């Protein structure tokens, strides 16, 4: 019986840019250029170091709309490096690859097998006794259940299925090649190498059904460690799976509760402590941090009065702790003690402002009017710029509502201070 290792990775999205990072003095700009490429190079090095038998890539090698053919050629160069080390590569195309024009014209070296999209195919290795089954996406949105059509397992072989799917539908991901976990576990395979979901997840251990996640987080919603899964086969049995990190920059959310903190400085101190902890947990790694300030705090107005300055102070704190920290953004979700006490503030200075702002935010008409008033400005921006994180848009009512709340905070913070600073 045979003994070997293989690697399972997915969702490389080579040359997809990192989103949401604004440059500032001291930010580790050069280090994060070409992060997806660096992660792929880490993958190739790992495969060679671990002397794996083969590498599985479960779809979405490219970003669907990315037009530069250089990206494809670069990928071939990495596959050639694996070929020189005698390592085979098995690929199924995902929705992005199907959309990509690059994929169709590339000539891969002969160690690379791309599974066909018309029907599933099986590659057998009788010497090491394994069979790999796979089917690629024919176009960018495959709505039928591909798993159902996968072949029956080969007897006395380790059977591995490669599939780009969202299994039962996962939040934030298009529901392509839908199937149930049951469809997969019932197939009689030993290992399902899945792709499409960017978060690492082990759906089942008997048999193994695994999303390795993407190899490099690209924005603030792809947080935590990113990499691939190293699988060890001993005497014809999968004996171990092991997650290995490949990323060169790691995203973290850092939620700081400012309740009970009464000054801006105290909040900054708390942020500093939290960042130190994250740095301790992730040594030698470039980190992009999104600080989320929550809680009901006396320091609220002091902070929102000059958000830019506060952001700069946070950046400085980050740089003070490590020169590999990039403070991506500060989400201001704190509230003021004044508003929250609920004590009526008849004729007091802030109540009028707050009421006015709240009225505007709550009225569809007022929002529509405001949107219309801002439309000249919106028209000046390139359309792709209007699109914000998630499904938000700079000119939709959700965003405008948020801006109204920010404006309210801004005025209140100055008025509460006598507007004298």
Partner 1 sequence: MKFKKLMLKAFGPFTDCDIDLENDGEADGLHVIYGPNEGGKSSTLRAISAMLFGIERSPQDNFIHDNPQLRVGAEISNAGESIAFLRKKGNRATLLSAKDGEVLDDNCLNSHLNGATKEMFFQEHAIDHDQLLAGGKALMANKGDVGQSLFSAGHGVVNLQNLVDKLQTGADALYTARKKKEGIPALIKEYKDIKKDEKTVSISTSQWTKIDKEYRNAEGRSAEVSKQRKTLEQEKNRLEALERTIPLIINRAHLLETLEEFADFTPVAMDVRERRKDIEAKITNIEEAISKEQIDIDSTEKQIAKITIPDGLLDNSSSINEIHQRLGSYKDAKNDKIGLESEKLSIENLINELLNDIETGLRLEEAQRFKLKSAERSEISELSEQFVEVESALKNSNVQLKKLKTKRTINEKALAELETAKEIGLLKRELGNVTRKGDLQVKLKKDEAQLNTKKKQLLNDYKQLGFKLTEVEEVSSIKVPKSSNIKVFQTKFGELKGELGKESDNANRFEEEIGKLKEALQKSSIASEEFGKEDLASARQQRQTGWKAVLSSWLEGKEPDKFDPEYLNGLPLQAAYERDLNKADHIADKRFDNAEAIAKVDNSTQLLEAAKSNLASTNEKMESLEVEQDALQERWLSLWKETGVDADNPEAMLQWLSRLEMTNDKSRDLQDLQTDCEQQKVEVSTCTKRLLKAINELSSEDFGSDDLNELVTYSGELVENNERLQSERRRLENQLHEISEDETLQRENVREQEKALEQWESRWKTLIVKHGFKADETTKVVTGILEQSREIFAKESDLNDKLARIEQIGNANESFEKELTTLLELAAPDLVGISPIEASSKLHEIFEKAKSDRTEKKALQEVLTKNDITLKQEKAALSGFENSLEKLCQQQGCASSDELRIREGKSDEFRELKSKISNVEEKLISTGRGNLEEIIKAAEGSILEDVESDLIDIKGSFETSEIDKSEIDQEIGLRRSQLSEIDGSDNAAKLADEAEVLITRLQKQSAEYITLTIALKILNEEIESFRKENETPLLTRANELFPQLTQNSFAGLEISYEGDEPMLVGVRQNGRHVPPEGMSDGTRDQMFLALRLAALEIGIEGAEPLPFIVDDILIQFDDDRARATLRVLKEVSKKTQILFFTHQARHVELVNEIGGIPVYELPDREMISVG
The binder of partner 1 chosen from 11, 15, 53, 247 (CB under 8 A): 15
Q: Does 374 bind partner 1 (CB under 8 A)?
A: yes
Check binding of 420 to partner 1 (CB under 8 A): yes
By beta-carbon proximity to partner 1, the closer residue of 240 and 419 is: 419
The nearest distance, CB 138 to partner 1, in angstroms, is 18
Q: Are 133 and 161 in contact (CB under 8 A)?
A: yes
Distance of closest approach, residue 315 Cβ to partner 1, in angstroms: 13
- How many whole angstroms separate alpha carbon 245 and alpha carbon 248? 9
341 is an interface residue for partner 1 by CB under 8 A: yes
CA 220, 221, 225, 227 torsion-angle sign? negative
Phi first, then psi, for residue 118 (nearest 5°) are -70, -45
Q: Does 69 bind partner 1 (CB under 8 A)?
A: yes
Query: Is 417 near partner 1 (CB under 8 A)?
Result: yes
Told to check if 345 binds partner 1 by CB under 8 A, we report yes
Residue 143 phi, psi dihedral angles, 5° rounding: -105, -10
Residue number with CB closer to partner 1 (198 or 360): 360
Q: Does 240 bind partner 1 (CB under 8 A)?
A: no
Q: CA angle, corner 246, sides to 111 and 23, nearest 5?
A: 125
- Residue 58 binds partner 1 (CB under 8 A): no
CB of 7 closer than 8 Å to CB of 52: yes
* Binding-site member from 42, 71, 131, 322 for partner 1 (CB under 8 A): 71
* CA 362, 363, 364, 366 torsion-angle sign: negative
User: Beta strand pairing status for 227-234 and 4-9?
Assistant: antiparallel
Give the distance between the most distant pair of CA atoms in the chain.
86
User: Alpha-carbon distance 300 to 338, whole Å?
Assistant: 10
DSSP letter string, 86-128: T-EEEE---HHHHH-SHHHH----TTEEE--SSS-EEEEETTT
Q: Which is nearer to partner 1, 242 or 355 (CB)?
A: 355
The footprint of partner 1 on residues 102-141 (CB under 8 A) is 102, 104-105
- Among residues 230 and 267, whose Cβ is nearest to partner 1? 267
Q: Decide: is 143 part of the binding site for partner 1 (CB under 8 A).
A: no
Would you give the binding string for partner 1 spanning residues 397-416, x where CB under 8 A is met? --xx--xx-xxx-xx--xxx
Does residue 23 touch partner 1 according to CB under 8 A?
yes
Assess 384 for contact with partner 1 (CB under 8 A): yes
| Segment interacting with partner 1 (CB under 8 A) among 14-22, 126-134, 165-173, 231-239 | 14-22
């Amino acid at each position: 019986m045979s003994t070997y290792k293989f690697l399972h990775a997915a969702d490389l999205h080579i040359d997809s840019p990192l989103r949401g990072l604004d440059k500032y003095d001291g930010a580790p700009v050069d280090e994060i250029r070409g992060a997806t490429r660096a992660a792929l190079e880490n993958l190739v090095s790992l495969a060679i170091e671990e002397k794996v038998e083969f590498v599985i890539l479960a779809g979405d090698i490219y970003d669907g709309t990315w037009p530069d053919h250089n990206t494809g050629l670069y990928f071939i160069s990495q596959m050639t490096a694996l070929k020189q080390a005698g390592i085979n590569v098995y690929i199924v195309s995902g929705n992005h690859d199907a959309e990509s024009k690059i994929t169709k014209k590339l000539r891969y070296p002969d160690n690379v097998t791309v599974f066909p999209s018309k029907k599933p195919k099986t590659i057998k290795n009788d010497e090491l006794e394994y069979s790999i089954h796979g089917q690629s996406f024919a176009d960018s949105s495959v709505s039928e259940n591909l798993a159902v059509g996968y072949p029956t397992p080969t007897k006395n072989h380790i059977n591995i299925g490669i599939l780009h799917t969202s299994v039962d539908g996962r939040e934030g991901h298009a529901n392509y090649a839908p199937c149930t976990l049951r469809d997969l576990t019932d197939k009689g395979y030993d290992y399902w190498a899945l792709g499409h979901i960017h978060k690492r997840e082990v759906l089942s251990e008997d048999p193994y059904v695994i999303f390795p996640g993407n190899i490099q987080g690209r924005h603030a919603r792809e947080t935590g460690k990113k990499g691939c899964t190293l699988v060890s086969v001993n005497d014809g049995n999968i004996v171990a799976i092991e997650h290995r990190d490949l990323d060169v920059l790691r995203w973290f959310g850092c939620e700081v509760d400012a309740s009970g903190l009464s000054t801006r400085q105290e909040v900054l101190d708390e942020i500093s402590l939290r960042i130190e902890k994250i740095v301790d947990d992730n040594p030698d790694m470039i980190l992009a941090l999104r600080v989320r300030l929550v809680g009901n705090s006396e320091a609220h107005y002091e902070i929102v009065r000059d958000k830019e300055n506060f952001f700069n102070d946070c950046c400085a704190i980050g740089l003070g702790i490590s020169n590999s920290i990039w403070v991506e953004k500060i989400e201001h979700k704190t509230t003021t003690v004044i508003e929250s006490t609920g004590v009526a503030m008849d004729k007091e200075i802030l109540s009028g402002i707050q009421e006015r702002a709240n009225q505007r935010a709550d009225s569809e008409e007022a929002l529509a009017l405001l949107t219309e008033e801002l439309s000249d400005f919106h028209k000046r921006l390139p359309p792709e710029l209007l699109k914000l994180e998630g499904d938000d848009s700079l000119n939709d009512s959700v965003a405008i509502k948020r801006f109204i709340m920010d404006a309210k905070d801004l005025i209140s913070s100055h008025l509460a201070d006598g507007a004298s600073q």
